[in-house]
Amino acid sequence: MTDLTERIKPHLWFTLYTLMKLGASKTPIRISTTRLSNDIGGSQQSASRHLQVLEGKGLLVRAISSGGSKVTITPEGLAELDQVLQELKWHLEGKEAETIIFEGEVVSGLFEGAYYISKEGYQRQIRQKLGFEAFPGTLNVKIREEDYGRRQKLERGPSLRFEGFKDGERAFGAARAYPCLINDEEAGALVVAERSSHDYSVMEIISPQYLRRKMELADGDKIKVAFLPLRQSDV
């Protein structure tokens, strides 16, 4: 996931956008620096340097051969382009992109949330970035399978990052947070551990409140979770 506090420069995201238009967001494409330099209006040296920088930042992957480079935009690269889109919408339309809404049902978890959320290493960052002390536990919401793609899109976008830390002999990994509103009334955030893969079926929501008690929720109850995409100024 791209750290949005270290945004790439406009000429680099224009190159990334150019590669996306050529199909690199869906499948690997073969392109020479001559072709790319013509498309971006720069020199071959600039095109080559852009590819190197974008690859170094994890926004694309490439395989170099005598006929040019085979290039694919990574999920992090797509997230960077999506952030540019959100910024443009904010300035051109005077509003942010449409709120992303999920409907699911409350389910029981493995009760691991209380252990992790209670750690001061996480709580300190939650206070700093979300502005509240989190209840030691999570509200688990199971979403529909047809919504997994929308959740992936949400997670490719901007997020608030919690750095990993050590507590004694044990290391705790980094995580990302996406602020949300539960049933249009209670503030919270989806928390996602930074690892290579995870289960998209269940959202783990933190909140300053014990939401099951506050909202009188039980397993099987239907619930709505709304996310308003973050802007760069929010992160």
Q: Map out the domains of the chain with their CATH numbers.
A: 10-93 (1.10.10.10), 100-234 (2.40.30.30)
- Residue 182's pLDDT is 95
Which tokens belong to 121? 């290493």
Whole-angstrom CA distances from 144 to 95, 157, 193, 221 are 28, 20, 21, 14
Identify each DSSP E strand in 58-196 by its residue range.
60-65, 68-73, 100-107, 139-143, 160-162, 165-167, 170-172, 175-182, 186-193
pLDDT for 88: 73
DSSP labels, 207-226: -SS-HHHHTT--TT-EEEEE
CA distances from 171 to 53, 116, 168, 186, 197 (A): 31, 11, 8, 31, 19
State the pLDDT at residue 2.
Answer: 40
pLDDT at 163 over 80: yes
pTM of this structure: 0.63
pLDDT tens digits, 107-133: 998 777 778 898 999 999 999 999 999
Residues 29-88 pLDDT 10s: 999 999 999 999 999 999 999 999 999 989 999 998 777 789 999 988 887 887 777 667
Share of the chain above pLDDT 90, in %: 58
Residue 31: Cβ within 10 Å count = 22
